Structure 1
Amino acid sequence: MGFLNNLKIREKLLLGFAVVVLLFALSSAFTLIQVSEINKVTRSMAERDAPAWDAIMEAKVEVLQGHLWLEETSLGKRAEEKEKIFAHFEEARWLGGALLNGGENSEVKVIAIEDSVVRASVSKFMNDLSAFVALAEQRYGDVGESAADMVSDKRLDSVFNEKFAVLLDDLSKAEDELAKTIAANNKVSQDLIEQEIRSIIIELIILLIVSIFIAVFISQRVVAQPLKQISDMVQRVADGDLTAVSSINTKDELGLLSEAVNTMVSKLSMLVSRVQKSGIQVASSVTEIAASTKEQEATATEHAATTSQVAASVNEISATSKQLGQATEEVTHLALGTAESASEGQEILASLDATMNHMAKASGSIADKLADLNEKASNIGNMVLTINKVADQTNLLSLNAAIEAEKAGEYGRGFAVVATEIRRLADQTAVATYDIEQMVGEVRSAISAGVMSMDKFAEEIHSSVSEAKNAGVQLEKIIDQAQALAPHIESVNEGLQAQVEGAEQISEAMSALREAAQQTAEFVRHSNDAIGELNEAARGMQEGAAIFKVKA
């Protein structure tokens, strides 16, 4: 850990990343080595098994080709030299030997087969091939005879064909056994690959766990813990504890930050101590100055109050005089206005008197018209009664006509219908005349009420005309008195105006004196306020410094 303490944060982070990268590199190298080994094994199997498989297939082809040529030559279908025919068998013999002992030519390189079962099959093939070639040479010696002789002499016996079948069976068995060996080798190769994949997965998991551990270690031990310690210290300082000290002594940025914070807190502690002492001294001096200023303020305030009282009295006198002057002017204007209004009222009353007379005449005319209307309504009522009687007579006549029509039988049926219709019309006429009679009665009642109202209205108009004449007489008296009052009010107004001018001169002098006293009191008050603010500032400075805990 001492080595890590002397590194910068950047160097510590780079070191952590370097360790992780190194672990990844080692894991990758180990994986490459394992993959290379598997590749070698797989390549070795491929180099051994594939050529062996090709050799077996090629040997089978050579045997088949030689047998075919020999048969065609025996039947006279092909004239081939012995060397060409038996070259196929020799090629098959070389391939079998290469499978047993290994061999290489210009076309193929065969590695010796290690599987004992396959080797046994190939060895049997080699022995059977030798026997087959011997029979083939004997067979080739009989080629000069005709085919008919061969058949007849039974020289194309089944021995040759049986040997050929055995030879092919040997190659087929070797082929099957080699296929099993190749499948087993492929299974082994697949198992190796799966095992390697599992190993790689385990390595990656271990590497991931180690990387996470390194990342957590670096983040906690290198960054988080020192930052938390510095944060706790700063929080204590924020709470007023200036005795807090950070114990981080590393050489990285956090160590430099811790050292700078310790230096800042130390200087802040010294400053707060000085502020506390200075606050006590300032508070004492401010208290003394405040006492002196209070005395000056009391004197200035008393002086200002006296001048204010005198000025207030003078202002009241001046205001009262002005109010009286304004009142007299208003009284003068009111008197003149009253005279004018009274004159106008007298004219209005005269006009109103004439209007009332016209209204009285009009109301009389309306009453006469209503009386005529009432009389005509009575005539309408009489006519309605007459119509009602006629309807009753018509109804009675129609009833008699209906009775007579019934008596006449079939001949009077049409007349009965007409009589019934006349009776129905007579009933409707009776109902209508009854409604008209009701409406005429209502109209007559309304006309009677209108006549009574108009009579009452005419009486009120005559009464109002008499009162208007009396009011005109009183207005003439008011006009005479208002015109006589105006000269007396004017003389009073002149005296009040002279009193107002004198009071204004006294008020101006007292205003100047009061302003001087107020300025003195205001200056003392401002000084006192400033001292109060200074006292509050000193008290606040003491209270603010008192929350800090400093070293003794």
Structure 2
Amino acid sequence: MTLRNRTMKLTIGKKLMGSFLIIAILLGITSGISFYYLKEIDRLDTDLIERRALILSNAQTMQVEAAKQSSRLRGYLLTKDPEYKNNLQSSNDNLSSLVSKTLTLAHSAEDKERLRKLEEFNIQFKQKYEQLLQMVQNNQNATETLDFYNNVVLPVGRQLEPVADEMASEQQKLMNEGSKQNSETVDTATATVSIISIIALVLAMLIGYFSSRMITKPIVAMERFADKIASGDISIANIQVKNKDEIGALANSFNQMKENLDHLIRQISLSAEHVAASSEELTASAKQTSQASETITSTIQEVVVSAEKQAYSVEECVRAMGEMSAGVQQIAANAQIASSVSMQAAQKALEGNQAIQSAEEQMGFIHTSFNQLADEVKEMGERSGEIGHIIEVISDIAAQTNLLALNAAIEAARAGEQGRGFAVVASEVRKLSEQSTQSAEQITQLITYIQNSIEKTIQAMQSGTEEINEGIRVVQTAGGTFEEIKEFVDHVVNQVHEVSAASQQMSATSEQIVQSCDEISEGSKIVAAGSHNVSAATEEQLASMEEISSSAASLTIMSEELQEQVGKFKVG
């Protein structure tokens, strides 16, 4: 693990995943609260429609059945019509059955207590009116029968109606309270979901803004930095990025690349100067050697004419060869230095190219993270669409409930006076269904607003992706420039090697000339034969001088081209 990786605390992927996790949590909270309130509203509607409305309807029917018992008992006493008796028994049975059914629906202790009293009074009333009917069938005294009705049966019957009235009145009150509670719950749910949705939306937009700015701002700075370097300006200041992620690592790589490139350009410039100086020295040495060769040729021609000048000519030859040998050694040393510097320049160019490749890889990682970010935002939009489908289902349920309430109101209107209480219930249910429909529409509008915000976030991410692609293009351009520098330095290295080989060849030639001069000094007797050897050596030396002059000219041209290429860069 490198130092750069160890100092990287949070990667871009982790930061983006954290941002989307926060947005997902906010969306989950909003959805959870909406689901909770929808379930609560559904529970209250179910309780109001399926339980309380049925209890109220049963209580109102109990009122009617209690009143019918007293009325039918009086009708039978007055007319002795068996139908009144049968209807009386039917009303008593209906009241008892309604009490039993309502007991299974009642939750409060007060309702259960009233139902038990009603059942007890109904049983007592049945026992009393059966005794009364038995007295009538036995043709007992009319006065006794009337007294039994007024003092025994009628007081029990009068106890039924107040209990039934109290039961119906209390259930009507509870229905009104339940309707009010449902309305308050709907208002609370609407306000809560609206506030939570707005807060979640604002936080999501802030997270998206800061996440985008955190990524695009340093990338734009690095793009400008790379443009400057690509144009040849290496004197710019280093990039200052506070990020501790891949972007920070990429910025550090850019800074290191700039420093390496600056050092490389300086080394190449210095090497070019050395090469130019060495080529000048080589040219001067070649001229001196050529002059010495001409002197030797002239001396050889004069040897035949005058042997007296032989010693002087030999001394001149030895001196000239000494100077040439020193020049050759200097050329060889300069060629070694130029070779070493050129190899260093090639190494620096290779390191710069590797830094560019590392920058390209980092830009590729950033591009991949942006693509993952876009996929997550699209998935979040799909989830909000699913919530919209749920709201549509709730709206359909509310519409069906409204239709059922309307049908119930029509049936209650047909029932006349007996269906008035159920008509009131149907009206309340219809109002609740309309309120539920309005709440569902409000939630649908909020979901639509959230989806529009997500679409804007996706557009912002696409813009960031374009900036990243532009950064990749600039880095690739800088990489091409480094590749050209590397090729040029390799060419210089090859030329320097050729100069070194030529210097070695010239050194060998100078040694041969010195040896020839030593042979000349051995004696004047072999001057003639030695002159031919010296002439041949001189011809070889002239050929070598021509090669050295050609190499020196090529080296001078190369050094000028290298200085021209280096001059394109502006260093600090």
TM-score past 0.5 threshold: no
Report which structure shows greater RCO (CA 8 Å, sep ≥6). 2
Give the number of the structure whose alpha-carbon radius of gyration is greater.
1
